[in-house]
Amino acid sequence: MRKRKRSQGSVDITSFFSPEPPPERSREPELKPGEAPQPDVESRVAELIISRGRVRKSAIYQWSKEAGVPPAVLYRALVSLERKGVVRRVFDEEVEELVYVAVGGGEPQY
């Protein structure tokens, strides 16, 4: 069997002389899968849910869009708050949607 020939693009020997623009980086640092959400986002989400008592998932998502919070960061904050016992996720049959309910019992630990 013959090996396939790899096609290599031609490279100019003086190509390193021409300046290349630096790659653009996003303004917001990317979160790794196991990394915790930004503390200020988590506290803002907790404050929103605690102040209203119960908030629909669509209302939280709309709030995050208006506040400029990426959905991935919002999701991590909600999961973190659930694990800490600050909020609970419940299905409300009246509105046929998930709602986040503030759990009573003292001040939340952030």
83 in a structural domain: yes
108 in a structural domain: no
Question: Residue 9 domain-assigned?
Answer: no
Residue 2 included in any domain: no
What CA dihedral angle connects 97, 81, 42 and 32, to 10 degrees?
Answer: -100
Q: Whole-model pTM? A: 0.60
Q: Please give the chain's pLDDT, 110 residues, in tens.
A: 677 777 666 667 777 677 765 566 656 555 555 555 566 899 999 999 999 999 999 999 999 999 999 999 999 999 999 999 999 999 999 989 999 999 975 444 44
Q: Does 12 reside within a domain?
A: no
What pLDDT does 12 receive?
72
The answer to whether position 71 is within a domain reads yes
Backbone angles phi, psi at 47, to 5 degrees: -65, -40
Residue 36's contacts (CB-CB under 8 Å, 6 or more residues apart) are 76, 80
Q: Is residue 7 part of a domain?
A: no
User: What domain range includes position 62?
Assistant: 35-102
Alpha carbon separation from 49 to 5, 15, 38, 39 (Å, rounded): 61, 56, 17, 15
Contact 79, 35 (CB under 8 A): no
Question: How many domains are there within the chain?
Answer: 1
pLDDT value of position 21? 59
Look up the CATH number of the domain holding residue 98: 1.10.10.10
Give the pLDDT confidence score for residue 26 in this predicted structure. Answer: 59
